[in-house]
Structure 1
Amino acid sequence: MKNSILTLLAVSTMLACKKSETTTVNQPMDSTAVAPSVDSPAVTADSTTVTGTTNTKVSLSDQDKKFADGAAQGGLMEVMMGKLAATNASDKNVKNLGEMMVKDHSKANEELKSWASTVGYTLPTSLDAEKQKKYDELKSKKGAEFDRMYSDLMVSDHKEDIAEFKKEAADGQEASLKSFASKTLPTLDHHLMEAQKTKSGIK
């Protein structure tokens, strides 16, 4: 009888152990079941990070891109032609005009490059076919012929520049680029005035 009781106790103890083992085994399964909800926030966090990264990249409108490209090439041409004028012009006022263009447009070009670096935009680093043709034509001129062509180009180009910078200041989407356009306009107005004065003074 005692043996029977002991056997029953032993069986009960074994069953109890098995039950606790089953519970123990089930717990990891429960925690695994909970795991997807733990992982879900992580996925959300990742997607938020990706979205955040995308949002930090400045989205430029077609107007902004067109203006930035035109301003970069125009500024480059002004510097290149200004250097030609500083060495090839026969008229002192034309030389001075060229030197002013090199100085002011080099500064504006650096500001534009700094902006492009900040927003991650790649500016053109060479002239387009039309501007290259103008530069090559000017380079082939000498003396008074050079003076006349250079001053003519500075008047016509600055009229175009002023129109483009005004358009960007009014219609541009990117705030810092609009600010650059607005800030540069007075310099361009001054350049146009000096170019017209120089042109009228050439004999």
Structure 2
Amino acid sequence: MKNSILAILAVASMVACKKNETTSTDQAGDSTAMTAPAADSGMMNNTDSTAVTGTTDTKANLSDQDKKFADAAAKGGMMEVMMGQLAATNANSATVKSLGQMMVKDHGKANDELKKWATATGYTLPTSLDADQQKQYDDLKAKKGAEFDRMYTDLMVTDHQKDIAEFKKEASGGSEASLKSFASTTLPTLEHHLMESEKAKASVK
């Protein structure tokens, strides 16, 4: 009887061991089957690393001085032409009339050059006088005869002294090459205008 029990236990033990081996093998197989290959993170996260290049700005990189000068030159040039037109028709002195005509011609040409520069660089110039300049123009327009001549020549001397200083500053210290060139090439004309304005002023005292 004892031997029979031992035999049964031995068989049971063998069956149990066999079952455990099978289970282990199945689990190993399942584990292998369930293990998916690692995703290629490089592929999944692959993005276009090429830097996006911004479009080049064709507008000139103007300094504050360049902008201030261009604005002042545009408004000053307009005023010179408008006042010159008044002088050409309203002046009492032939010398003052001639001075006005010269201002219209020379400043008209300079204004055109400045407009070409503005178009080339994409800069917007002012198209009207400032309040002080408009007042000066209106006051001059109201004058007649010798009084007109004295006021006009006095304005031309004062304005051209100021213009020459501003153009010299831009010619030497500006940032934009073509605007500096405009200032430099216009200077001799302004200096000539100042000389002629001083002569005309002296003649109408």
Larger Rg: 2
Q: What is the TM-score normalised by the length of structure 2?
A: 0.76
**Structure 1 residues 94-125: Cα deviation after superposition (integer angstroms, max 9, x where no partner):** 00000000000000000001101111110000
The structural deviation recorded for 1:35 is 10
Q: Say if 2:163 is the partner of 1:161.
A: yes
Residue in structure 2 matching 1:53, options 48, 51, 56: 56
Output the CA distance in 2 between the equivalents of 1:116 and 1:148.
Answer: 35
**Structure 1 residues 126-148: Cα deviation after superposition (integer angstroms, max 9, x where no partner):** 00001011100000000000001
The structural deviation recorded for 1:40 is 3.7
Q: Tell me which residue corresponds to 2:5.
A: none
**Structure 1 residues 20-69: Cα deviation after superposition (integer angstroms, max 9, x where no partner):** xxxxxxxxxx9xx49955x443xx3xx32x2x423x32111110011000
Q: Tell me which residue corresponds to 1:109.
A: 111
Q: Tell me which residue corresponds to 2:126.
A: 124
Q: Tell me which residue corresponds to 1:183.
A: 185
Residue in structure 2 matching 1:99, options 98, 101, 114: 101
Output the CA distance in 2 between the equivalents of 1:156 and 1:63.
Answer: 22
Letter in 2 for 1:178: K
Report the structure, 1 or 2, having the larger helix content: 1
Letter in 2 for 1:180: F
Output the CA distance in 2 between the equivalents of 1:162 and 1:140.
Answer: 28
Instruction: Tell me the SS of whatever aligns to 1:124.
Output: coil
Output the CA distance in 1 between the equivalents of 2:182 and 2:75.
Answer: 16
Q: Tell me which residue corresponds to 2:4.
A: none
Output the CA distance in 1 between the equivalents of 2:171 and 2:158.
Answer: 20
Regions of 4+ moved over 6 Å: none
Instruction: Tell me the SS of whatever aligns to 1:81.
Output: helix
Residue in structure 2 matching 1:194, options 180, 193, 196: 196
Q: Tell me which residue corresponds to 1:145.
A: 147
Q: How large is the Cα RMSD of the aligned pairs?
A: 1.8
Q: Say if 2:67 is the partner of 1:65.
A: yes
Q: Give the gaps of 5 or more residues in structure 1.
A: 1-29
Instruction: Tell me the SS of whatever aligns to 1:53.
Output: coil
User: What count of residue pairs does the alignment treat as equivalent?
Assistant: 166
C-alpha change, 1:185 and 1:34, in structure 2 (3 Å) is: farther
Residue in structure 1 matching 2:77, options 70, 75, 97: 75
